[in-house]
C-alpha cells in the first residue's frame, strides 16, 4: 500500500470537516472535504506581504481524494455551504499529496 492510499481518507479523523465546492476555469468539484484553519505566517509570506489584512485570510486543508481529479491552484474559488466564497492565493501539497493547503482571501460581496 502506498502512503497516499494509507492517508487519503484521514479527513475522517477530524470533527470539523465541512463540504465545500472548488471551482476554477476547468470546472467544478462539489462535496469536497475541507477543514478551515488559521493561516500560518509562511503561507501569508507567499502573497506579497499582505499579512496586515490577516482577518481576510484563511487556510483550507482540502483532501485530494474528494476533488474529483482536480488540483487546486491560484485563482480557484472555494465556496462554503453558507455561500461565503474564498479565492485561492497559494497552494502547498501536504501528507504525500493527500492534502492541499490553500491560502485564501475572502471575497467581498
Rounded distance, CA 86 to CA 108, Å?
9
85 grid coordinates: 466564497
For residue 1, how far is the Cα from the chain centroid?
A: 26
Rounded distance, CA 11 to CA 89, Å?
23
Query: pLDDT digit string (tens) for 59-82?
Result: 999 999 999 999 999 999 999 999
pLDDT in tens, the chain (109 residues): 898 999 999 999 999 999 999 999 999 999 999 999 988 777 777 676 555 565 788 999 999 999 999 999 999 999 999 999 999 999 999 988 999 999 999 998 7
Amino acid at each position: 500500500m502506498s502512503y497516499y492510499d494509507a492517508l487519503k481518507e484521514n479527513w475522517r479523523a477530524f470533527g470539523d470537516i465541512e463540504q465545500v465546492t472548488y471551482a476554477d476555469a476547468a470546472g467544478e468539484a462539489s462535496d469536497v472535504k475541507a477543514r478551515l484553519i488559521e493561516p500560518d505566517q509562511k503561507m501569508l509570506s507567499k502573497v506579497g506581504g499582505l499579512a496586515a489584512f490577516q482577518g481576510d485570510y484563511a487556510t483550507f486543508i482540502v483532501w485530494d481524494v474528494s476533488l474529483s481529479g482536480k488540483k487546486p491552484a491560484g485563482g480557484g474559488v472555494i465556496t462554503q455551504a453558507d455561500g461565503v466564497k474564498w479565492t485561492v492565493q497559494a497552494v502547498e501539497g501536504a501528507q504525500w499529496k493527500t492534502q492541499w493547503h490553500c491560502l485564501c482571501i475572502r471575497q467581498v460581496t
